[in-house]
Amino acid sequence: MAIFSRRTIQRLINENASFLTRKQFRSHVDKLNNGDLGAEWEVVLLNVFSKLGRVEHERNFNGKKPDIYFTSEDGSLDFLADIKTVSDEGTELKNPQKQLDERLFREIKEKNIRGAWNCDIGGNHEEARKTGSMVQLKLPALARFDQEIFNESWEEFTARIQKEPGKEHRYEIKTNNVDLSISYRPSKEWTGSGGYPSYKSITAREHLIQNSVWNGLVSKSEQLEGTEYDGALGIILCDGGSEYLKRSRNIIHEFFRTHPRISFVLAFEAIQNFGFGSFNQVMMYFESAKGLSAKLEDFLSNLHKHTEEIFPYPVKSAINAVNSLESTKRFEGDSHFGGATMSGNEIKLSSRTVLDLLAGNITYDDFPEVYKSFFKMEAAEGRLFEAARVEKDVTEQDDDWLVFRFGEPDPAVTPYIVPKAVT
């Protein structure tokens, strides 16, 4: 599953079929089944704008086929826009800090070395300052981790810790390309800490054109400017796991300065909140260039008000969606696994989890303990099922609730009892 539930995306695919060609919605389905996050955003935004006016997808303009040609119902508003999903994948590949953390944790776990671990990574600050480029971490490429980090020296380092776990140990690599320090301190529990330079900070004007947002804007401007459309041209940026999107205002205004033909930029970010009373949401950002009509600017800047009732509910942030799509279960939405409530004589739990148990996809040992405890409590009181029903999830998530109602203690499974005195 990606940002929106699979049920939601299928509903939008079905709705979009009313104004897309068969080739177009088949293309969306094929891309979605291949884990394309950009196709997901495209399906969502085409659907949203289709409910605000008329949408034509990939209409031919001078040999170019932008994603959205929008006209309002009364014909007073129109614009041409392209959709671009941006991620920080390229920057992350150049700075594989997350992969180093994952590999370090795996190494420690496999060797069963508990302790307080600290990992510090250096960067090319001086070189970046001289050249005006972004800071880059001094780490080898992921493909060279074994040769330059987790090599014979690393094995000797971990062997020393296993031999003398009560002492502090340090492992350092200082070369022209690598600046890394990993330290161990005795502790009964495993803890991790560390530090590294921010390699996504925009601290100079030169940095405004060295990021995924800028690259996405430029790639779409070339197509839009080639349409020779004389109305408003816009670019819609979508969250594919990019931190730059959260602070894109200065990047966008620098882009407007060098690309005066683009009239506006819309950006959408999926926010996943945690904690009691919190809820997920899609944040919208809008920036306009000079020359955009007041009426169109008012419509676009207040788009969130127009779409409150029609914009689908996100179930994941983009970065968590990317992780889900990379898993072996990317064709499965999230279930309410482990979620349960008990009220009076009713138990409510995940219908998919119960189905997985009955189908043999999970064992009884995998069945959540809270479920077992609820059922054991009812069984101990001699209660049997009285009714069962499915409660559909109104937020269109990819699971439903299975509700069991239990009756009074049943003589079929309890000792006989003396009846109450009859008056």
Provide the number of structural domains found in the chain: 3
Q: Is residue 330 part of a domain?
A: no
User: Is 388 in contact with 323 (CB distance < 8 Å)?
Assistant: no
When pLDDT is averaged across residues 19-33 and rounded to a whole number, the result is: 96
When pLDDT is averaged across residues 55-70 and rounded to a whole number, the result is: 97
Least confident of 51-60, 289-298, 320-329, 404-413: 320-329
232-290 pLDDT, tens digit each: 999 999 999 999 998 899 999 999 999 999 999 999 999 887 755 557 888 899 999 98
Q: Determine how many CB atoms are found less than 10 A away from the CB of residue 369.
A: 9
Distance from chain centroid for Cα 45? 17
157 and 305 assigned to the same domain: no
Pairwise CA distance, residues 171 & 169, whole Å: 7
The mean pLDDT value of the chain amounts to: 92
pLDDT reported for residue 31: 95
208 and 60 assigned to the same domain: yes
383 and 234 assigned to the same domain: no
Q: Is residue 385 part of a domain?
A: yes
- 159-168: string of b/e by CB count within 10 Å (b at 16+)? eebeeeeeee
Compute and round to an integer the Cα radius of gyration of the chain. Answer: 28
210 and 286 assigned to the same domain: yes
Q: Is residue 358 part of a domain?
A: yes
| For residue 165, pLDDT beyond 70 | yes
Beta bridge partners of 238: 85, 268
Q: Is residue 264 part of a domain?
A: yes
Q: Which of 195, 222, 241 is the last residue of a domain?
A: 195
310 and 370 assigned to the same domain: no
| For residue 67, pLDDT beyond 60 | yes
Q: Which of 167, 195, 223 is the last residue of a domain?
A: 195
Q: Determine the structural domain holding residue 367 and report its residue range.
A: 335-406
User: Is 40 in contact with 9 (CB distance < 8 Å)?
Assistant: yes
Pairwise CA distance, residues 56 & 60, whole Å: 10
52 and 128 assigned to the same domain: no
Confidence grade of residue 113 (pLDDT, cut at 50, 70, 90): very high
pLDDT reported for residue 265: 97
Q: Determine how many CB atoms are found less than 10 A away from the CB of residue 264.
A: 23
**Residue showing tokens 């994948």:** 89
The larger pLDDT score, comparing residue 333 to residue 166, is at 166
Q: Which of 160, 195, 230 is the last residue of a domain?
A: 195
Q: Is residue 421 part of a domain?
A: no
Give the type of residue at 128.
A
Least confident of 199-203, 355-359, 361-365: 199-203
pLDDT reported for residue 6: 93
Q: Is residue 384 part of a domain?
A: yes
296 and 228 assigned to the same domain: yes
107 and 189 assigned to the same domain: yes
pLDDT reported for residue 323: 76
Confidence grade of residue 1 (pLDDT, cut at 50, 70, 90): low
Q: How far apart are the first and last CA of the chain?
A: 63
185 and 100 assigned to the same domain: yes
215 and 316 assigned to the same domain: yes
Q: Is residue 414 part of a domain?
A: no
273-332 pLDDT, tens digit each: 775 555 788 889 999 998 899 999 999 999 988 888 899 989 888 888 877 776 666 678
When pLDDT is averaged across residues 108-126 and rounded to a whole number, the result is: 93
Ramachandran area for residue 276 (φ above 0: left; ψ -120 to 50: alpha; else beta): beta
Pairwise CA distance, residues 24 & 50, whole Å: 15
174 and 101 assigned to the same domain: yes
351 and 314 assigned to the same domain: no
Pairwise CA distance, residues 316 & 32, whole Å: 16
| For residue 38, pLDDT beyond 60 | yes
Q: Provide DSSP, 90-140.
A: HHHHHS-HHHHHHHHHHHHHHHT--SEEEEEE-B-HHHHHHHTPPP-B---
pTM of the full structure: 0.86
Residues constituting the chain: 423
Q: Is residue 95 part of a domain?
A: yes
Beta-carbon-side half-sphere exposure of residue 263 (alpha carbons within 13 Å): 20
Structure tokens given for 238: 């979508």
pLDDT reported for residue 156: 96
Sign of the Cα pseudo-torsion (131, 135, 141, 147, in order): positive
pLDDT reported for residue 188: 84
